[in-house]
Chains A and B, each alone.
Chain A
Amino acid sequence: MVLFSTHAVLSCIDREQVKSLLMAQEKVSENSVTFNSFVDSSNPFENILLTSFRLFDHGSLFEGSFEGLSNASDASAFLRQHIHLICQLCLSCLQLIVFLFDVYGVLERMIGSTTDEMTGGTLLRDLIYSEVLNIIPAMARHFSPEAVFACISQRHPSTYPLVTEVLDHLTRDYSLPASAELVTLVQSFKQASDANSYRILVPVLSGMSSETILQLVPKLIDEFGESEGGLEVLRSAFHRVVEARPPPLSRSTLLMALHRYI
């Protein structure tokens, strides 16, 4: 028996703090995915899920006794493997991704309040982040972008950066305009989340009308026109607008719009 969390991957997580965070999140408590709700006893993945959920389950996440894990490296590999497996299972059961987003959200909030540069929490959060993004191409073949977005967009605001990344990945093919349904979902999400940033709208610009885009362009420029990272967002936004087939704005129309101010 090896102490898994306290001295290894999750060693820096304050157990009581996380528990209180989880309990305080009514949404998480009510909606978070539980083992029983997804696993049929005849499911061959039961053992995998059981192990994974033992790892993440609110009660045992920070107890962390797992046999066979002798050091942090083992623990990291173990975590990666199980998150990877859960991601694979998301291809069969989309709702499972909600669970990962909830764990990610809790970790994001927790890490945001610590000064440690690299903790078990950051490792776990980063693993979820990268594994979720890795599975998106496969997920896009199994589920519509609308279904995936509807599933992940109802989580805690701390997950929004990941939601945005997932949406970027779901709409990676710039030649395909975002559907009207996805545009509506994302616009509603932005409105409901009361977010000041227009970043979440970038992946669905290709599905908007020319008039809406022309209204958004100055706002995007104002938000992203100064920093290097922001210019990448602008580049992506412009490419999405002009590379969609058919494009909501032609290349010359967009370029003219950027020049025309009074």
Chain B
Amino acid sequence: MYLVRIDYEMLGLKRKSLLEAISVCLGSKEIFNAEVLRETLGELVKDDPIPIPFMRTVILATQAMPEMKKYVLHEIVPKLISRQVWDTAPKIWDGVVMFMKSSVSHREAEPTLRGFLGLPYVQLHAILKLVPAAATPLANVLSALSREEFDEVVKGYWAGLANPSDDNKEGTASADKMKIIHGLMKQKGNQK
């Protein structure tokens, strides 16, 4: 992609107008179809910083084209987790939480749920508080993991949040976090 960044705000562009312009594109589904949106989101998620309207576009796109959800749950949210956007782009993370409120029970949500199980305690706790409906799908995923997968997922290796070669052998699996994990497993009645 040869495109350079445009400093819209320096040009005096109002954010509301910009959002309207994006909505105009998303409203033309025959032109800006799922394939185009996948390509666009796949590039934008690599941006640093990630554009602020990014998650708004994700939510609008998945509302207009439900077939987009699989791509977002498989590719976009796991990437955002691996980039630890709760630290680097809190507004993007707020958008992820909002998106998950309507997608946590989606049949293609497993990659995202695995990513959530790898979150540090604070973020996992917040997710369960903000999206209570996530508890059951998370417990279901936990129950389906093998012992090896369990470690890989819960320690954050799978999500790219920790590395087995690091000094910290527990990864993101702090004591507080493990209480939550065990609580979820109890809920499922499947103690590992």
Contacts and interface: CB of A to CB of B under 8 A. Distances in A.
B18 interface: yes
Given A226-B16, A255-B40, A262 B7 contact: yes
B3 A259 contact: no
Contacts, number: 105
A218 B7 CA distance: 9
A259 B1 contact: no
Interface of B: 1-14, 16-18, 20-22, 24-25, 27-28, 31-32, 36-37, 39-40, 43-44, 47, 51-54, 57
A248 to B, nearest CB: 12
Contacts of B4: 214
Given A225-B16, A256-B1, A238 B51 contact: no
A255 B36 contact: yes
Interface in A236-256: 238-239, 242-243, 251-256
Interface of A: 210, 214, 217-219, 221-222, 225-226, 231, 234-235, 238-239, 242-243, 251-262
Contacts of A262: 5, 7-10
Contact of A235 (B3, B9, B14, B28): B28
Nearest to A259: B51
Given A217-B6, A222-B11, A231-B24, 20 more contacts: A218-B6, A218-B11, A222-B13, A222-B14, A225-B18, A226-B20, A234-B24, A253-B1, A255-B37, A256-B1, A256-B3, A257-B6, A258-B21, A259-B57, A260-B5, A260-B6, A261-B6, A261-B7, A261-B51, A262-B5
Interface residues of A, dominant DSSP? helix
27 contacts: A218-B13, A221-B8, A222-B11, A222-B12, A222-B13, A225-B21, A234-B24, A235-B24, A235-B27, A242-B31, A251-B31, A251-B32, A252-B36, A252-B40, A256-B3, A256-B40, A257-B3, A258-B53, A259-B53, A259-B54, A260-B47, A260-B51, A261-B7, A261-B9, A261-B13, A262-B7, A262-B9
